[in-house]
Amino acid sequence: MIEQTNNPVGKSVPRVDAFDKVTGAAKYVDDMQFGPGLYYGKFVHSPYAHALIKGVDVSKALALPGVKAVVTGADTPGRIGLYMKDRYIYARDRVRYVGEPVAGVVAITEELAEEAVKLVVVEYEELEPVFDPYEAVQPGAPLIHPDMAEYKWPNFIFPEPGTNISEHFKLRKGDVEAAWPKCAVIVEQTFRLPHIQHVPLETHVAIARWDQTGEVTLWSPSQSPFSQRDLLAQSLDISHGDMRVISPYVGGGFGGKAGISIEANVVVMARAVKGHPVKVRMTREEEFTCTNVRQSLNAHTKIGCDAEGHVLAMETRYYFGGGAANDYGVNIARASGYSCTGPYPIPNVKGDSYCVYTNTPIGSAMRGFGMPEIHWGIEQIMDRLAEEIGMDPAEFRRINCVKTGDTILTGMKMPAVDLVACIDKATEAIGWDKEKKASAPHKRRGQGLAIMWKAPAMPPNPGSSAIVRFNEDATLNVYVGAQELGQGAFTVAAQMAAQALGIPYEWVRVSANPVDTKYSPYEWQTVASRITWSMGNAVKAAALNARRQILEIVAQYWDEDLENLDIKNGIVISYKSEREQPLKNMVVYGLPNDNFEGWQGGPIVGAGKFMPTYVTNLDSETGQGARAVVHYTVGAQAVDLEVDIETGQVDILKIASAYDVGKAINPDLVLTQIEGGAVHGMSSAFEGMFFDEQGRLRNPSLVDYKIATAMDAPREIHGDIVETPLEDGPWGARGVGEHVMVQTAPAIANALHDALGVRFNDLPLSSEKIYLALREREAGGE
């Protein structure tokens, strides 16, 4: 037996006077909003990656004056999870990663809660852990979820109980074995990517209150307020009508604040002290260790082409390190399975995509949702194939990339896109055919190209809704349930409402913050780059609904046909009689009958909704189906860089990107996404979370976990927009939020090869790794 008497994560540190002033100010703000009855919570975290829980003694913590409650796994018998319901809110029978919450302490101050955490005694029996996803699927590997058969999952997820495999997506098309002999060149490689962190400026914070009446309110900056409401209601047996989530602006999401994380823990704390709100704020160290991260990946990929450069066959196995719980991660593996070829309609494909339990932090959604991981290998292999047959990498991609109407790997017909135009724009902007010299004798210059695709990865029926309501002066309030993450969702909603109604943009007010599940229209989640498309369709429908109401009133008032009327610049006009009727006042008060003998009309309120109805099931053995996804967004990215061969230091000089967005509702916002995504994607190529042999994170802070800063950003970022209208997009628009970082890392790797003649299969691309590779090459006499 092993006893834990201290907290290994989120330790209290001595505070200087200035910090005391800050925390004092923060408590004042808390008291102003939630009253002096606000309590604070801290977690007892597991110090072990894998262990049985033999006992939890909270008596000493409860005896500490000012401690109000301690909750444990005994208080949370139900499992929770977005797709796979595979985890307890607090660990019950065992812990599965260092940092997993075992108990939660509620006290009158955060400092007191930290002290009480040290008094909770947990007895463990340590078990053998497994950290690598490939090792975790081998016979005899430690079983992390022995009760998997009892879990609940949707019909499109295919776990394998009795193993560590929570999802196995199979893709079978054509005859791979018959195709290999026809290939002039075959490249087969293994690629590895580590876990990386979302690193939001705002760490996870949640406040919950469980009233004596049974009503529960959660305040949480979240990408998924409605999904959180649903998950909490199901897991804690709360009526959806009594479970309310209020979500203010999100201080950095990137997928890390999608689904559910600490929010359920805080609600359970609040249940123990009914009537008192409880606040939990994760430290930066806890954010790294105890919240969601991007999954790791081991990928073994084999691709072959003929002498003319036509790709004929692909075989791939993706092993995603899903961490201790795969509730969201199973859908990442699924999405990577049905998109496993990348943006290439390869005729013969055998793909297996696995989500695997490991004793690491929980792998979940991150910007790109599996696509940056799989493109890392695919796009390097495509470069190698082009090199082997002596073809320009850009031309190789032009020949092989997906085009409108192609039958892709799942049997679906590709919606309208123009990836060739994206390749052309990116290569032209980077100066692809122009030789560029390095700035010094000890530096080398190189260029690289990579292309991508990504579909919104989601269930077949995620819905959006919107409401528009006029004020007396004809200004318009738009109500949506989508979240603003800095991507400009509310700006786009205002533009769409104005365009559909025929009123000036300046008249529109988007009333959406905070998102409040009690009052806001339903929105599944702000994820998957779906908001412009899905929410946009709902906003357009609501605006058109209001527009029709207005025109019907005026048509009756003027005794004219509806078809002759229009709304321009906030005025109803008749193309037949040339009469005009301003919207001001009439959109609330209506219009009078002759001689004011009664009135017609009244307050104009429009409602709209959107849900895709055409996505079909995919066969569990082949991955084939009529419509795998709603659509794909495609794009190309080219990189120009310089490498110092004496230090391995990489200087990104320029990133040029082009994406087919269908219709750019707001071109400035699209270009802003491209710029931010280029830096985010660049940063991801140099990031990594590293664990010791006990599963403890070695770099759990911004001191040791490096992200790109303004000093590291490319000297020039170029963006281009291609517009091939999407059949069901509002005005043809499709999303582009995540896509802008999908292929940055392989584009950098291809540029490094161009500069140095060295290939790198494993991320991160650290200066040390590059330096050692150059020294190894020198030692080998190459």
- Annotation: CATH topology of 36-127+203-252+257-290: Aldehyde Oxidoreductase; domain 3 (3.90.1170)
pLDDT at 767 over 80: yes
With a cut of 60, say whether residue 739 has pLDDT above it: yes
603, 606, 607, 610: CA torsion to nearest 10: 180
The Cβ of residue 671 has, within 10 Å, a number of other Cβ atoms equal to 17
The mean per-residue pLDDT over the stretch 484-489 comes to 93
* pLDDT tens digits, 563-577: 999 999 999 999 999
- Neighbour-count burial of 69, counting CB atoms closer than 10 A to its CB (0-12 exposed, 13-18 middle, 19+ buried): buried
* Residues with active-site annotation: 738
Q: What is the pTM of this model?
A: 0.95
Least confident of 16-30, 170-184, 741-755: 16-30
Q: Which band of pLDDT confidence, cut at 50, 70 and 90, is reported for residue 499?
A: very high
pLDDT at 240 over 60: yes
Cα-based distances in Å from 277 to 136, 273, 329, 775:
41, 8, 31, 59
Q: Say if residue 4's pLDDT is above 60.
A: no
| Distances, alpha carbon 707 to alpha carbons 265, 547, 681, in Å | 29, 48, 11
Least confident of 27-31, 464-468, 608-612: 27-31
What pLDDT sits at residue 35? Answer: 86
Output the 3-class SS for 410-471.
CCCECCCCCHHHHHHHHHHHHCCCCCCCCCCCCEEEEEEEEEEEECCCCCCCCCEEEEEEEC
- Which residues touch 42 (CB under 8 Å, ≥6 apart)? 7, 10, 104, 105, 107, 110, 113, 114, 116, 117, 280
Nearest 10 degrees: CA dihedral of 541, 542, 544, 549? 140
**DSSP 8-state symbol, 534:** I
Q: What is the pLDDT of residue 581?
A: 98
Q: What count of other Cβ atoms lies within 10 Å of the Cβ of residue 581?
A: 18
CA distance 62 to 257: 31
Residue 16 has pLDDT above 80, yes or no: no
CATH 3.30.365.10 region(s) of the chain?
18-27+462-610, 296-401+412-458+617-779
CB 242 within 8 A of CB 218: no
Is residue 239 within 8 A of residue 253, CB to CB? The reply is no
Q: What is the pLDDT of residue 23?
A: 52
Confidence category of residue 513, pLDDT binned at 50, 70, 90? confident
Give residue 24's pLDDT. Answer: 58
Q: What is the pLDDT of residues 284-339, one digit of tens each?
A: 999 999 999 999 999 999 999 999 999 999 999 999 999 999 999 999 999 999 99
What is the pLDDT confidence band of residue 512, given thresholds at 50, 70 and 90?
confident
Does the pLDDT of residue 28 top 60, yes or no?
no
Position 107 scores a pLDDT of 98
Cα separations (Å) of 342 from 131, 660, 741?
A: 27, 16, 14
Confidence of residue 25 (pLDDT cuts 50, 70, 90): low
Taking only the tens place, the pLDDT of each residue in 422-477 is 999 999 999 998 999 999 999 999 999 999 999 999 999 999 999 999 999 999 99
Q: Are 61 and 120 in contact (CB under 8 A)?
A: yes
pLDDT at residue 26, rounded to an integer: 60
Q: Return the higher-pLDDT residue of 663 and 29.
A: 663
Encoded amino acid at 723, one letter: E
Q: Which phi and psi (to 5°) does residue 2 adopt?
A: -125, 135
Q: Which two tokens stand for residue 644?
A: 């110092």
**Could you tell me where in the chain the CATH 3.90.1170.50 domains are found?**
36-127+203-252+257-290
> What type of residue sits at position 283?
T
Cβ atoms 295, 216 nearer than 8 A: no
Fold of the domain built from segment(s) 18-27+462-610: Aldehyde Oxidoreductase; domain 4 (3.30.365)
Domain 296-401+412-458+617-779: which CATH number of 1.20.1250.20, 3.40.50.2300, 2.40.50.70, 3.30.365.10: 3.30.365.10
Tally of CB atoms within 10 A around 15: 12
* Residue tagged 């020198």 (tokens): 778
Q: Residue 557: phi, psi to the nearest 5?
A: -65, -40
Does position 243 have pLDDT exceeding 60, yes or no? yes
Rounded to the nearest integer, the mean pLDDT of the chain is: 95
pLDDT tops 90 at residue 1: no
